[in-house]
Structure 1
Amino acid sequence: MNLSIILIFVLFLLFVTGSQSLTPRQIIPSPITIEKVGKQKLAATVKWDGIDNNDNQTLYASLECDPFQAIDVENPFLYPVFSDRKVVFDLTVLISNVVVTCDCDMDTNANLDPDERWTLSFGFESP
């Protein structure tokens, strides 16, 4: 009985000390900024940083705004490189003084898997 306990303990120690530590890979989003760039034109800028990411990695970005009758996203799907550290979506205001809600999805895979992507939601009143 004692021999089996000692054997289990020794095997457990070998398993624990033989494991490999993994560094986490993270994408850290920054707050979204919206700037007026012309009459009825806005630019929504999404910035990010990260830990242990490949700078040449392509990201998949999409932006949806609701109500879609009030705001038109001219470039709803973009493919920036991670080292760009930002992506800019061009918005056209169709109806003024409307509360708009937008969702920006970013992912390192084209499938936009919910487990791997990050979503930024923001709202504003159209000028």
Structure 2
Amino acid sequence: MNLSIILVFVLSLLFVTGSQSLTPRQIIPSPFTVEKVGKNKLAATVKWDGVDNNDTQILYASLLCDPIQAIDVDNAFQNPVFSGRKVTFDLTVYISSVAVTCRCDMDTNPNLDPDERWTLNFGFETP
């Protein structure tokens, strides 16, 4: 008798589960823009939107461009607020007519964990 009560109790725990629906927190990148803002100066703007993010949440953004001999990112690491929905990086051009590739990493954690961040790769030719 006691064994059957214990068995019913254990089986009921296995078959009856409570679930909680969690909305995944997402950052969704939008197309980037690169604009000329002065002699040998460019501004690369990366925009985003998101799901279930706090508008006051601080993001961690970085921009790396290659080849480093042709272009330099003046403010490569920034901490924008999510509600701003964009971040602008200042670029200095050293050599014109060069194909440049850039990588923008965005994360909600300061360690830029590869499993939690999104990466946007883009390329352009220096003016």
Q: Fold-level match, TM-score > 0.5?
A: yes
> Counterpart amino acid of 2:74?
E
Give, in whole Å, the separation in 1 of the partners of 2:122 and 2:20: 39
Give, in whole Å, the separation in 2 of the partners of 1:42 and 1:103: 16
Identify the residue that residue 21 of structure 1 maps to in structure 2.
Answer: 21
Identify the residue that residue 45 of structure 2 maps to in structure 1.
Answer: 45
2:57 matches 1:57: yes
Give, in whole Å, the separation in 2 of the partners of 1:114 and 1:83: 23
Give, in whole Å, the separation in 1 of the partners of 2:64 and 2:23: 33
Give, in whole Å, the separation in 2 of the partners of 1:75 and 1:11: 55
Displacement, 1:12?
Answer: 4.4
Identify the residue that residue 100 of structure 1 maps to in structure 2.
Answer: 100
Q: Residue 16 of structure 2 aligns to a residue in which SS? A: helix
Question: How high is the TM-score relative to the length of structure 1?
Answer: 0.89
User: Aligned residues: percent identity?
Assistant: 74
* 4+ residue segments displaced more than 2 Å: 10-13
Count of aligned pairs between the two proteins:
122
Question: How high is the TM-score relative to the length of structure 2?
Answer: 0.89
Identify the residue that residue 68 of structure 1 maps to in structure 2.
Answer: 68
Q: Residue 88 of structure 1 aligns to a residue in which SS? A: strand
Name structure 1 gaps, 5 residues minimum. Answer: none
Identify the residue that residue 120 of structure 2 maps to in structure 1.
Answer: 120
Identify the residue that residue 90 of structure 1 maps to in structure 2.
Answer: 90
CA RMSD, Structure 1 to Structure 2 (Å): 1.6
Give, in whole Å, the separation in 1 of the partners of 2:81 and 2:13: 45
Give, in whole Å, the separation in 1 of the partners of 2:79 and 2:28: 17
Displacement, 1:11?
Answer: 3.9
Give, in whole Å, the separation in 2 of the partners of 1:13 and 1:32: 49
Name structure 2 gaps, 5 residues minimum. Answer: none
Identify the residue that residue 81 of structure 1 maps to in structure 2.
Answer: 81
Give, in whole Å, the separation in 1 of the partners of 2:40 and 2:68: 15
Q: Residue 88 of structure 2 aligns to a residue in which SS? A: strand
